[in-house]
């Protein structure tokens, strides 16, 4: 059956990057044998200025029935900030219960990294951002507005169910990613270790984090060195946000100890996370965090992976309709010039395929992006050495090439 993809090209450079993403999607569909139909919606600043509508209820009703949504960009210089962001982007995230915002931070080959000496092998992690609650929930209010005694509150809403589904998704994602990672636990943190020689799987209890399971590599007075199936870092602020973070902390360790003991549970405060992302990004595998912290650290993530031109994201409802978007905005300054970098949008299309279950096609798009970045002069708009359209062509071609190469290999042919 054909996938139904709703396309919202949106504002500014949104339509230009969307066009290239669809070009690559088309190449992937032909090479990997899946079918899809698109329906385009003219939501965004122009429509709002023309009709006053941001997201008509009839459109929302249609969007509830599609296989996935692709969104180019929202944000229009003539529309007050927040109208489209809240009325369209956040409303879709909430209404469709896209409770995960998945943001890979990956440095592709040949991409200039602002951190000295870091290579693609050092920057390759994923942020799982809670996408429906926290400070984004819109709870709070204002009293005595406009007076010197004005009070404004913005409440962070965290529900056990909301936190738990996000954390479960992050554990499952870490397990599926399946990176074998060596971790160290200091003797002082090692409360108990089950019997087992080096090379064997042992159960151990971390003083603060509870039970985990890993392969013992080495044990001495200093502590233990273990091989875990991935590292999941909870990024929080337990030392200050004592109510919400306590809920996150307990949920994280309860769920992990009960159902994902083989995933190593790491923790870092959000400020320290920023520091480590610059100092030792290679440590991270998967990070799980709340909505606001996730918003902030993923912009930092975008910078260390070479800029917003390459940063893709997915708003995911694992049981429903998900929406994929490049992280960069509408970039009004570059609109219509055919100079914007479409790789983030193309990457988002790849993530869409991964979520739809087209794993091979998704991996092929990722590989095609990696084959294209070394040819580019820069990831920045206007400095790529290619136009927007040419980058789309290069990636689409690499998808076709990749497919015929795998087919030749499968059939044992020389090329």
Residues that bind ligand IPM (CB under 6 A): 85, 89-90, 295
For residue 291, what are the contacts with CB-CB under 8 A and spacing of at least 6? Answer: 101, 129, 130, 131, 132, 133, 134, 135, 136
Residue 267 to residue 289: CA distance in whole angstroms: 10
Q: Select 43 or 90, whichever has its Cβ closest to ligand IPM.
A: 90
Name which position in 16, 124, 266, 295 contacts Mn ion (CB under 5 A): 295
* Shortest reach from residue 303's CB to Mn ion, in Å: 12
Residue 146 in tokens: 């406009």
20 and 27 in contact (C-beta within 8 Å)? no
Instruction: Locate 363 and state its tokens.
Output: 């991996």
Count, residues near Mn ion per rule CB under 5 A? 1
Q: What does DSSP say about strands 264-269 and 223-229: parallel, antiparallel, or unpaired?
A: unpaired
Rounded CA-CA distance 312/18 in Å is 12
Q: How far, in Å, CA of 288 to CA of 243, rounded?
A: 18
What is the nearest approach in angstroms of ligand IPM to the Cβ of residue 129? 8
- Residue 187 DSSP code: G
Buried b (16+ CB within 10 A) or exposed e, 200-223: eebebbbeebbbbbbbbeebeeee
397 contact choice in ligand IPM, Mn ion, none (CB below 5 to 8 Å, kind-dependent) = none
Which entry of Mn ion, ligand IPM, none binds 263, CB below 5 to 8 A by partner kind?
none
Select 330 or 372, whichever has its Cβ closest to Mn ion. Answer: 330
Closer residue to ligand IPM in complex, CB, 85/164:
85
Cβ at position 35, least distance to ligand IPM in Å: 30
354, interface contact from ligand IPM, Mn ion, none, CB < 5-8 Å by kind = none
325 binds Mn ion (CB under 5 A): no
Nearer to ligand IPM, 193 or 274 (CB): 274
C-alpha distance from residue 137 to each of 93, 96, 162, 198, 369 (Å): 11, 14, 12, 48, 35
Quick one: 90 or 398, whose CB is closer to ligand IPM?
90
Cβ proximity to ligand IPM, 89 vs 226, nearer residue: 89
Q: Is the Cβ–Cβ distance between 254 and 133 less than 8 Å?
A: no
Which residue lies nearest Mn ion, judged by its C-beta? Answer: 295
**What is the rounded CA–CA span in Å between residue 211 and residue 26?**
47
Stretch that binds Mn ion, among 48-56, 76-84, 290-298, 304-312 (CB under 5 A): 290-298
Q: Which of these segments, 120-128, 206-214, 251-259, 287-295, binds Mn ion (CB under 5 A)?
A: 287-295
Instruction: List interacting residues with Mn ion (CB under 5 A).
Output: 295
């Amino acid at each position: 059956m054909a996938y139904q993809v709703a396309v919202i090209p949106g504002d500014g450079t949104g339509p230009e990057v969307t066009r290239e993403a669809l070009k690559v999607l088309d190449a992937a569909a032909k090479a990997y044998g899946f079918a899809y139909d698109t329906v385009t919606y003219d939501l965004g600043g122009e429509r709002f200025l023309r009709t006053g509508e941001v997201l008509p209820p009839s459109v929302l009703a249609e969007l509830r029935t599609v296989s996935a949504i692709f969104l180019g960009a929202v944000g229009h210089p003539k529309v007050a900030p927040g109208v489209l962001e809240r009325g369209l982007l956040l409303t879709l995230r909430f209404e469709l219960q896209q409770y995960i915002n998945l943001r890979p931070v990956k440095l592709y080959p040949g991409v200039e990294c602002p951190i000295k000496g870091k290579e693609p092998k050092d920057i390759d992690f994923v942020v799982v951002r809670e996408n429906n609650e926290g400070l984004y929930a819109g709870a709070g209010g204002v009293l005595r507005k406009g007076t010197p005694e004005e009070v404004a509150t913005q409440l962070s809403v965290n529900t056990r169910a909301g936190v738990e589904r996000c954390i479960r998704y992050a554990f499952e994602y870490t397990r599926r990613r399946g990176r074998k990672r060596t971790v160290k636990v200091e003797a002082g943190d090692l409360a108990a270790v089950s019997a087992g020689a080096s090379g064997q799987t042992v159960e151990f209890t971390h003083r603060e984090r509870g039970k985990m399971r890993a392969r013992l590599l080495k044990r001495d007075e200093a502590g233990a060195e273990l091989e875990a199936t991935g590292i999941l870092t909870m990024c929080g602020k337990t030392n200050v946000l004592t109510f919400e973070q306590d809920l996150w902390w307990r949920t994280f360790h309860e769920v992990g100890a009960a159902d994902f003991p083989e995933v190593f549970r790491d923790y870092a405060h959000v400020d320290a996370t920023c520091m480590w992302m610059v100092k030792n990004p290679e440590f991270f595998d998967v990070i799980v965090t709340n909505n606001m912290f996730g918003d902030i650290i993923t912009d930092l993530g975008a910078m260390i992976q070479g800029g917003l031109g390459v940063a893709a994201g997915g708003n995911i409802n694992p049981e429903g309709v998900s929406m994929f978007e490049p992280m960069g905005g509408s970039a009004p300054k570059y609109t219509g010039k055919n100079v914007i970098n479409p790789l983030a949008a193309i990457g988002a299309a790849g993530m869409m395929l991964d979520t739809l279950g087209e794993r091979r096609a998704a991996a092929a798009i990722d590989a095609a992006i990696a084959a294209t970045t070394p040819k580019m002069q820069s990831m920045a708009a206007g400095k790529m050495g290619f136009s927007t359209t040419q980058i789309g062509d290069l990636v689409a071609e690499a998808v076709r090439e990749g497919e015929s190469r795998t087919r030749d290999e499968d059939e044992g042919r020389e090329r």
